Amino acid sequence: MNDSLIPKRFLLGKKLSNENLEGQLLPKFIALPVFSSDPLSSVAYGPQELLMILTLGGVSFLAFAPGIAAVVVLLLTVIVLSYRKIVEAYPGGGGDYEVAKTNLGDRAALIVASALLLDYVMTVAVSVASGTDNLISAFPQLAAFRVEIAVAFILLLTAVNLRGVKESGVAFAIPTYLFIGSVLLMIGTGVVRLAMGHQLVSPSAHFQVHVYTADLQNATQAAFILLLLRAFASGCSALTGIEAIANGVPAFRAPKIRNAQVTMVLMGATAIVMFIGVTALAIYSNVHYSEDPAQGLIGWHGSGPQLTVMAQIAYAVFGNNSFMFYVIQAGTAAVLLLAANTAFNGFPLLSSVLAKDGFAPKALLTRGDRLVYSNGMFSLMGAALVLMVVYQASVTGLIQLYIIGVFTSFTVGQIGMLKHWRRGKADGSITVKNANSGLFINGLGATLTSIVLVIVTITKFAHGAWLVFIIMPVLYWVMYNTKRYYAEVDKEIALDEKTIFGSKGDYAVVMMDKLNKPQLKALDYALSSRHTEMEAVHIAVDPERAKEFEAEWKAMGIEVPLRIIESPYREFAAPLIEYLTKHRENNGSERISVYLPKFVVGHWWEHVFHNHRANRIRKQLMYVRGVMVTLVPWRLESADKVNLFERRPLPGDARRGDTVRPATRRHARGRNVVSRFQTTRNPDEHEE
């Protein structure tokens, strides 16, 4: 194997053929961590954000935490049941986007798509930032490197996901199940200790809480309600990622629908138990968590970062610096980082569906070496890195952009399902029992999610969520106009009612700069094509050199007309284009072929020693109507050593317009032979 490919193969593994696609499908125990790590991990920051907002009103407001948590759990249950219906009705993937497109039209579908794409990016950013927070809680000395750690984790997640869905799922399964097991153990241990009469005391329990807002000190009704609604909106961050299973049904093993539904129920039940347990233990252990502890916690004199809610509960249940304290921190940090894996699976799948429908660039349809949509993953990585740097990996700052997008897709998807059930009930394609069940569940889901959407919009708008209302319309506009662009291209290249084949005339031009083997090989190739008319063209950027070349041409005795084109500004392409344009104007719809010799080298550093004029001329000739360009390669000895099956892109390939195409078979190599030019040529003498 080419040495240059060893790092890539070490990181990503060997290539997978299309026949391996079935083997990449996921069983339930792998699909759970792949598609559910986001909603499962959100119990680490959902209760934390809920408690942090309530703390703004003082300790007394923490009494409302159980009620708010109960409403969040109810909403989570309804959404899980709703998405089970979506999986059953639309098993082809796409989730809310497919539901909206089928039942409500393209405009509604694009609203959902823009919301989901933004939500997936936010999932990566918030999850990695929260995971970094938990890591810093265990190792405070890392606080100064918060952004660098977060960026490194995003790059690592991208590399792991590029190895393939199945391999990344196996890699992420152990940390996810470690998190679930350790949190359930912590909840169980905490409940047992409370039942035995032990008191759980968090490290922040002795701090008094400073009430930030004067309105809250006066406890006006408006401020009271607004604070509770804001806390509820923050707690709803635990609902993100639920839709990923509905989007990724095609990635499940058969029976796909059944496996996806079972996985969704397992995810919902586990998330509910952990959310209730973490919130309850935080209340019983008197966790006081503030966005700015120096201002919000009276008596706070800590110089290090504030411990997360999960860390404080582990402290209260297992004790500081205990083995399980670090297990909880490690498991929480790992699963929060891996929660981004939900987005790394959902975003590429959704973007590929959008590309298939013409709303996104076709490049997002391409599967990489490991049968994953690698271009989609790179797009997600780039967007997440920008957010991470701009917001300095702040969970509180990033989470304000969260939730609105996901509840937008929730609401539109549920409304689309209502139309689906009504249509199916009317035309008899769906039984009355199933239709009524779907109408009740999705109707309840649409009502609740629309209410939550209004709440989160009102409560988060002034805290940074206004940016969502700029980003989503921009995404909508881009996707809408991408579709229009593809429609215009399709219309332009479509066959006419009467298609006439054939052009009048066949004219060839061979670019000649000097007499050498590569130049004469290009001329030989053009002669073998037997054009009706052919000329050799020399661009006279140097008048003296042009005269010398004309003399050499006559001395060589080549019976092909030579045309010298003046170039007073020392350009190659512009004078040639001007000449060809005039020639076509004078000769009508004539086919023009331009032959350009081109060096092919085997080492990247050899490109420095060549001017790549053929590529530059080719790019400009592509815009001239009626002109076809043929590059005639001359392979240097260094190129003979390159294995085309393993040839990797060289530095500058994209800029020069070079592409690497794997060979279909190995060709016999050897030195190029120049044909003899005669007045009467034998076509069999042409070099293949």
DSSP letter (8 states) at residue 663: -
Higher pLDDT, 610 or 576: 576
Q: What is the pLDDT of residues 104-124, one digit of tens each?
A: 999 999 999 998 888 888 888
Given this model, what pLDDT does residue 368 score? 63
Percentage of the chain with pLDDT > 90?
21
Q: How confident is the model at residue 595 (pLDDT cuts 50, 70, 90)?
A: very high
Concatenate the DSSP letters of all residues of 667-683 into one string.
PP-----PPPP-SS--G
Concatenate the DSSP letters of all residues of 446-514 into one string.
HHHHHHHHHHHHHHHGGGTGGGHHHHHHHHHHHHHHHHHHHHHHHHHHSPPSS-----S-EEEEEE-SS
- Average pLDDT value for residue range 342-355: 83
- Predicted confidence (pLDDT) at residue 342 exceeds the cutoff of 60: yes
| Cβ count near 443 (within 10 Å) | 16
Higher pLDDT, 598 or 405: 598
Given this model, what pLDDT does residue 667 score? 38
The H or E element that residue 70 is part of is helix 65-89
Q: How confident is the model at residue 509 (pLDDT cuts 50, 70, 90)?
A: very high
Bridge partners for 538 per DSSP: 564
DSSP letter (8 states) at residue 26: B
Bridge partners for 510 per DSSP: 536, 595
- Predicted confidence (pLDDT) at residue 508 exceeds the cutoff of 50: yes
C-alpha distance from residue 674 to each of 522, 614, 630 (Å): 10, 20, 18
The mean pLDDT value of the chain amounts to: 80
- Predicted confidence (pLDDT) at residue 537 exceeds the cutoff of 90: yes
Q: How confident is the model at residue 621 (pLDDT cuts 50, 70, 90)?
A: very high
Given this model, what pLDDT does residue 654 score? 52
- Average pLDDT value for residue range 624-629: 89
Higher pLDDT, 652 or 328: 328
Concatenate the DSSP letters of all residues of 286-348 into one string.
T----SSHHHHEET---SSPPPPHHHHHHHHHH-TT-HHHHHHHHHHHHHHHHHHHHHHHHHH
Closest CA to 324 of 314, 334, 309, 313: 314
| Pairing of the two strands 533-540 and 506-511 | parallel
DSSP letter (8 states) at residue 567: -
- Predicted confidence (pLDDT) at residue 191 exceeds the cutoff of 90: yes
- Predicted confidence (pLDDT) at residue 493 exceeds the cutoff of 60: yes
Given this model, what pLDDT does residue 252 score? 84
Given this model, what pLDDT does residue 655 score? 47
Specify the range with the lowest mean pLDDT, choosing from 13-17, 340-344, 437-441. 13-17
| Cβ count near 227 (within 10 Å) | 21
Given this model, what pLDDT does residue 539 score? 93
Q: How confident is the model at residue 594 (pLDDT cuts 50, 70, 90)?
A: very high
- Predicted confidence (pLDDT) at residue 145 exceeds the cutoff of 50: yes
Given this model, what pLDDT does residue 377 score? 86
Higher pLDDT, 169 or 146: 146
- Average pLDDT value for residue range 429-453: 88
Higher pLDDT, 1 or 250: 250
Given this model, what pLDDT does residue 646 score? 52
Tokens 């066949």 belong to residue: 506
Question: In terms of pTM, does the model score above 0.85?
Answer: no
| Contact residues for 278 (Cβ-Cβ < 8 A; gap 6+) | 43, 44, 47, 183, 187, 309, 310, 313
Q: Is 534 helix (H, G, I), strand (E, B) or coil?
A: strand
Given this model, what pLDDT does residue 209 score? 75
The dihedral sign for the CA sequence 152, 148, 39, 401: negative
- Predicted confidence (pLDDT) at residue 381 exceeds the cutoff of 50: yes
Q: How confident is the model at residue 480 (pLDDT cuts 50, 70, 90)?
A: very high
Given this model, what pLDDT does residue 138 score? 74
- Predicted confidence (pLDDT) at residue 20 exceeds the cutoff of 70: no
Given this model, what pLDDT does residue 419 score? 92
Given this model, what pLDDT does residue 501 score? 60
- Predicted confidence (pLDDT) at residue 32 exceeds the cutoff of 90: no
Given this model, what pLDDT does residue 658 score? 53
Given this model, what pLDDT does residue 303 score? 56
- Predicted confidence (pLDDT) at residue 93 exceeds the cutoff of 80: no
With residues binned 3-state (H G I as helix, E B as strand, rest as coil), the percentages for the chain, rounded to 5, are 65, 5, 25
Higher pLDDT, 209 or 652: 209
Burial 540-561 (b: 16+ CB within 10 A, else e): bbeeeebeebeeebeeeebeee
Q: What is the pLDDT of residues 517-534, one digit of tens each?
A: 999 999 999 999 889 899
| Cβ count near 447 (within 10 Å) | 13
Specify the range with the lowest mean pLDDT, choosing from 168-172, 269-273, 408-412. 168-172
User: Could you give all domains of the chain from N- to C-terminal order, each with its CATH number?
Assistant: 16-485 (1.20.1740.10), 506-685 (3.40.50)
Percentage of the chain with pLDDT > 70?
83
- Predicted confidence (pLDDT) at residue 346 exceeds the cutoff of 50: yes
For residues 22 and 29, what is the distance between their CA atoms, to the nearest angstrom? 17
Concatenate the DSSP letters of all residues of 171-235 into one string.
HHHHHHHHHHHHHHHHHHHHHHHHHTTPPP--TTTTPEEPP--HHHHTT-HHHHHHHHHHHHHHH
Q: How confident is the model at residue 316 (pLDDT cuts 50, 70, 90)?
A: very high
Given this model, what pLDDT does residue 585 score? 85
- Predicted confidence (pLDDT) at residue 239 exceeds the cutoff of 50: yes
- Phi, psi (degrees; rounded to nearest 5) at 678: -130, 165
Bridge partners for 630 per DSSP: 595
- Average pLDDT value for residue range 392-405: 76
Closest CA to 449 of 82, 113, 105: 82
Higher pLDDT, 443 or 649: 443
Most confident of 12-16, 397-401, 640-644: 397-401
Q: How confident is the model at residue 499 (pLDDT cuts 50, 70, 90)?
A: low
- Average pLDDT value for residue range 8-23: 47
Chain CA centroid to CA 15, Å:
21
For residues 350 and 275, what is the distance between their CA atoms, to the nearest angstrom? 28
Q: How confident is the model at residue 586 (pLDDT cuts 50, 70, 90)?
A: confident
Given this model, what pLDDT does residue 193 score? 92
The H or E element that residue 96 is part of is helix 95-103
Q: How confident is the model at residue 4 (pLDDT cuts 50, 70, 90)?
A: very low
For residues 312 and 63, what is the distance between their CA atoms, to the nearest angstrom? 19
Higher pLDDT, 202 or 373: 202
For residues 108 and 419, what is the distance between their CA atoms, to the nearest angstrom? 13
Tokens of residue 187, six digits = 């909840």
Given this model, what pLDDT does residue 359 score? 92
